[in-house]
Amino acid sequence: MDDPRGRSEFYVGYLPTPPRMLRFLRIGVTVLGVWIVGLGLVIALSMRDPGPAVWDTGQERVWTGTVRDEPYPMLLPDDGSPPLLIVEMAKRGAQPRVAPFAGRQAEVRGFLLSRDGRRMIELAPDDGAITARPGIPRPQGEPVSLGRVALDGEIVDGKCYLGAMKPGDGMTHKSCATLCVRGGLPPMIVTRGSDGPEFSLLVVEDQPGLPDKVLALIAEQVRVEGELFDLAGMRFVRAPVSGIRLREGP
């Protein structure tokens, strides 16, 4: 269509943009830009908080203490602070590397993962990440029973939940968590109350890892019925396969 001055309203690349088309583009681009920004804000505000987990891969650290390999590899620090779980890089448990040092005083090098006071060491990749030290091992003691419990929550893999992934829980993380637990990483049961999340290691029938029936319940809302223990500040629940099932109701 021609304007009164005889100029065509069709766009021609080598001619000035027609006024009406220029006005349309200005309004359209402005509206589209506002819509994109608004959509981004809505999506960002609707996302759930992935939690305060931290994975410090930029600083290699050294800890000293007594190594323990049950129920999962951990270090009981010399300073008396709660134990640190020990894992390998990637989706692998540290049982093979930790076993020769069980019950001994050792120096452990690696990278810290932490969340809500629970800590984990990802071992450095070299063979000397764990070295024996002279000295008297810290008394390990025996796990103290806290009684029978019924915990409603979610089974997660400890490494991702403590910082290796964000989020490290939920259905979107189910496949990753399943592979991690299959690889030997410690599973946890996470319960959420008014004071925030609480998490305990999960031990099924005193076996390393989880049987297939329980692996299928990772990332689901479950009820775990078993006996709760405390080991120098590290809690774990020991349950039979029959004591772990999908949770009914809200």
Count of residues in the chain: 250
Residue 173: DSSP 8-state: G
pLDDT, average across residues 124-137 = 92
pLDDT tens track for 73-98: 999 999 989 999 999 999 999 999 99
Query: For 181-231, how does the pLDDT look when each residue is reduced to its tens digit (9 = 90+)?
Result: 999 999 999 998 778 889 999 999 878 789 999 999 999 999 999 999 999
- Predicted local distance difference test score (pLDDT) of residue 23: 84
C-alpha to C-alpha distance for 13 and 19, rounded to whole angstroms: 14
- Give the pLDDT confidence of 31-59 residue by residue, as tens digits: 999 999 988 888 766 666 667 889 999 99
Kindly report, residue by residue over 149-189, the tens digit of the pLDDT.
999 999 999 999 999 998 899 999 999 999 999 999 999 99
According to CATH, what is the number of the domain 144-246?
2.40.50
What pLDDT shows up at residue 8? 55
Q: What is the average pLDDT value for the chain, to the nearest integer?
A: 90
Question: What are the φ and ψ backbone dihedral angles of 176, each rounded to 5 degrees?
Answer: -65, -45
Domain boundaries, the chain: 54-132, 144-246
Which amino acid is present at 54?
V
Is 27 exposed, middle or buried (CB count within 10 Å of its CB: 0-12, 13-18, 19+)?
Answer: exposed
Say which residues have a Cβ less than 8 Å from residue 181's Cβ, sequence separation at least 6: 157, 187, 209, 210, 215, 218
d(CA 236, CA 230): 7
Residue indicated by tokens 């400890």: 158
Closest CA to 134 of 107, 113, 171, 108: 107
Q: Is 144-246 the same fold as 54-132?
A: yes
User: pTM (2 decimals)?
Assistant: 0.81
Model pLDDT, residue 65: 95
CA distance 156 to 215: 10
Which token pair is 171? 């259905």
Fold annotation for 54-132: OB fold (Dihydrolipoamide Acetyltransferase, E2P) (2.40.50)
Residue 108: helix, strand or coil by DSSP?
A: strand
What is the SS3 assignment for 95? helix
